Copies of this chain bind each other. A is one copy, B any other.
Amino acid sequence: MAQVQRMSRLMVKTLRDDPADAETLNHKLLVRAGYVRRTAAGIWTWLPLGKKVYENIARVVREEMDAIGGQEVLLPALLPKEPYEASGRYEEYGDLLFRLKDRKGADYLLGPTHEEIFTQVVKDQCSSYKDLPVILYQIQTKYRDEARPRAGVLRGREFQMKDSYSFDTTDEGLAESYALHRGAYQRIFERLGLDYRIVSAVAGAMGGSKSEEFLAPAPAGEDTFVDCPACDYAANTEAVTFALAPVDGSAHGPAEELDTPDTPTIETLAEHLGVPASATLKNLLVKVDGEIVAVGVPGDREVDLGKLGEHLAPAEVELVTAEDFEGRDDLVRGYVGPQGLDKVRYIADPRVAPGTAWITGANKQDKHVKNVVCGRDFEVDDYLDVVVVEAGDPCPNCGTGLKLDRAIEIGHIFQLGRKYADTFQLDVLGKEGKPVRVTMGSYGIGVSRAVAALAEQTADDKGLCWPKEVAPADVHVVAAGKALQTELALDVAEKLGAAGARVLVDDRAGVSPGVKFTDAELIGVPQILVAGRRSAEGIVELKDRRTGEREELSVEEAVARLTA
A143: nearest residue on chain B (CB-CB)? B78
A136: nearest residue on chain B (CB-CB)? B11
Q: Are A117 and B39 in contact (CB under 8 A)?
A: yes
Interface centre among A8, A51, A67, A73 (most CB of B within 10 A): A73
A564 at the interface (CB under 8 A from B): no
Q: Are A39 and B143 in contact (CB under 8 A)?
A: no
Identify which of residues 148-189 in chain A touch chain B, using a CB-to-CB cut-off of 8 Å: 157-158
The answer to whether residues A79 and B45 also contact, given A74-B51, A102-B98 and a CB cut-off of 8 A, is no
A52: nearest residue on chain B (CB-CB)? B72
The answer to whether residues A126 and B11 also contact, given A45-B117, A98-B102 and a CB cut-off of 8 A, is yes
Secondary structure call for the A interface: mixed
A125 at the interface (CB under 8 A from B): yes
Q: Are A77 and B141 in contact (CB under 8 A)?
A: yes
Whole-angstrom distance between the Cβ of A22 and the nearest chain B Cβ: 16
Q: Are A102 and B71 in contact (CB under 8 A)?
A: no
A9 at the interface (CB under 8 A from B): yes
Q: Are A44 and B76 in contact (CB under 8 A)?
A: yes
| A: contact size bracket | 35 or more
Q: Are A125 and B73 in contact (CB under 8 A)?
A: no
Whole-angstrom distance between the Cβ of A90 and the nearest chain B Cβ: 15
Contact partner, A78, options B34, B73, B98, B134, Cβ 8 Å: B98
Query: Could you tell me the distance between the alpha carbons of A21 and B110 in the complex, rounded to whole angstroms?
Result: 26
Whole-angstrom distance between the Cβ of A89 and the nearest chain B Cβ: 16
Q: Enumerate chain B residues within 8 angstroms of A52, measured Cβ to Cβ.
A: 72
A100 at the interface (CB under 8 A from B): yes
Identify which of residues 238-294 in chain A touch chain B, using a CB-to-CB cut-off of 8 Å: none
Interface centre among A67, A76, A102, A110 (most CB of B within 10 A): A76
Q: Are B45 and A75 in contact (CB under 8 A)?
A: yes
A394 at the interface (CB under 8 A from B): no
A510: nearest residue on chain B (CB-CB)? B130
A20 at the interface (CB under 8 A from B): no
Identify which of residues 19-64 in chain A touch chain B, using a CB-to-CB cut-off of 8 Å: 34, 37, 39-40, 43-48, 51-52, 54-55
A2 at the interface (CB under 8 A from B): yes
Query: Could you tell me the distance between the alpha carbons of A79 and B103 in the complex, rounded to whole angstroms?
Result: 19
A100: nearest residue on chain B (CB-CB)? B100
A95 at the interface (CB under 8 A from B): yes
Whole-angstrom distance between the Cβ of A161 and the nearest chain B Cβ: 14
Q: Enumerate chain B residues within 8 angstroms of A98, measured Cβ to Cβ.
A: 78, 100, 102, 108
Whole-angstrom distance between the Cβ of A124 and the nearest chain B Cβ: 6
Query: Could you tell me the distance between the alpha carbons of A125 and B143 in the complex, rounded to whole angstroms?
Result: 27
Q: Mark A64-95, 1 if CB is under 8 A from B, else 0.
A: 00110101111111111000000000000001
Interface centre among A8, A9, A67 (most CB of B within 10 A): A9
Q: Are A95 and B103 in contact (CB under 8 A)?
A: yes
Query: Could you tell me the distance between the alpha carbons of A131 and B76 in the complex, rounded to whole angstroms?
Result: 37
A145 at the interface (CB under 8 A from B): yes
The answer to whether residues A9 and B74 also contact, given A98-B100, A125-B47 and a CB cut-off of 8 A, is no
Q: Are A45 and B73 in contact (CB under 8 A)?
A: yes
A-B contact pairs, 5 of them (CB 8 A): A2-B67, A10-B71, A11-B122, A47-B125, A103-B147
Please list the residues of chain A having a beta carbon within 8 angstroms of any beta carbon in chain B.
2, 8-13, 34, 37, 39-40, 43-48, 51-52, 54-55, 66-67, 69, 71-80, 95, 98-100, 102-103, 108, 110, 117, 120-122, 124-127, 130-131, 134, 136, 141, 143, 145, 147, 157-158, 509-510
Known: A11-B73, A130-B509, A130-B510. 19 other contacts (CB 8 A): A2-B66, A2-B67, A10-B71, A11-B71, A11-B126, A11-B134, A13-B125, A39-B76, A39-B79, A40-B80, A43-B76, A48-B136, A52-B72, A54-B74, A77-B141, A77-B158, A95-B103, A100-B110, A103-B145
Which 7 A-B residue pairs are closest in the complex by CB-CB distance?
A: A100-B100, A46-B74, A48-B71, A95-B103, A40-B80, A43-B76, A13-B125
